[in-house]
Amino acid sequence: MQVKRRHVALALLILIPSCVNLIVPIYNRDSPELLGLPFFYWFQTLWLVASTGFYMAFSHLKERQP
């Protein structure tokens, strides 16, 4: 059972950022602005950083697999 949970966690760590970036209507707008940047740009930048964190967690969990 422990192995299945680990595989589900690994799959979610990769699928969450991918799914969010594929659902374009979520971020296809100009407002609200942050520091003069339209929502589209700062949302994408935020997810770039978040995706890096997801991938680092994925790599860490993948290395610890028996």
CA distance 21 to 62: 23
Structural domain of 9: 2-63
- Residues 20-61 pLDDT 10s: 888 888 888 888 988 888 988 888 888 889 888 888 887 887
Mean pLDDT of the 7-24 span: 83
Residue with tokens 């059972």: 1
Per-residue model confidence (pLDDT) at position 20:
85
* Domains: count for the chain: 1
Q: What is the model's pLDDT at position 55?
A: 82
| Better-predicted residue by pLDDT, 10 or 65 | 10
Nearest to 13 by CA among 66, 60, 63: 60
